[in-house]
Amino acid sequence: MNQMLQEPEVSQEVSQAITQTSHVPETPDLPPAPAHPRFTKPQRVAFVQSSWHREVVEECRIAFLAEIEARHIAPAQVDVFEVPGSFEIPLHAQLLAKTRRYTAIVAAGLVVDGGIYRHEFVADTVIKALMDVQLKTEVPIFSAVLTPQQFHESAAHFDFFRKHFATKGIEVAEACANTLHSLERLRGQVAAGIV
């Protein structure tokens, strides 16, 4: 014999209370992911990083690759080169720029006290040399070569600078993509005789 289960009668007040307490509040809509413009021509980027304090500097590369992909340059379009220290970056950047294979070059390094050179001298020399390469070759070069005022070989400093380099990786990817878009527009205007 089949017996149907019947719901017990519930008073209107109880029914209202159940409805009110079981109502799940609506979650606010998340803002849409930013829509980054696409490039009209393929882009290829060289990423040159120093191996001095690799575990810190690589955070820049990792964050850069993630952000540049969000900006429509696939990681496969980024070639990574490693050099011993920041002092060696400009020569590699110059040789890479002269190949005309790359639409942009990114440099990443950590310059700290020690050795025979003062770290401010090395950092200034590297930045000036990168600017010279950029102006001579017309290939934009972006720098995440950083020189902290005080760097100690401690877990706290390594942790701080790993996070800082991750932030710099995002920032340099944004600058790289925005500049490449700007140059693409400008070169199109020059070719069309607008500028």
Catalytic residues: 118
- The rounded distance, in Å, linking the Cα atoms of 37 and 40 is 9
Contacts by residues 35-42 (CB-CB < 8 Å, ≥ 24 positions apart): 36/70, 36/71, 36/72, 36/177, 37/72, 37/181, 38/72, 39/72, 39/73, 39/180, 39/181, 39/184, 40/184, 40/188, 41/184, 42/77
Q: Is the dihedral of CA 84, 124, 55, 149 positive or negative?
A: positive
CA dihedral 122, 125, 128, 134 (to 10 degrees): -80
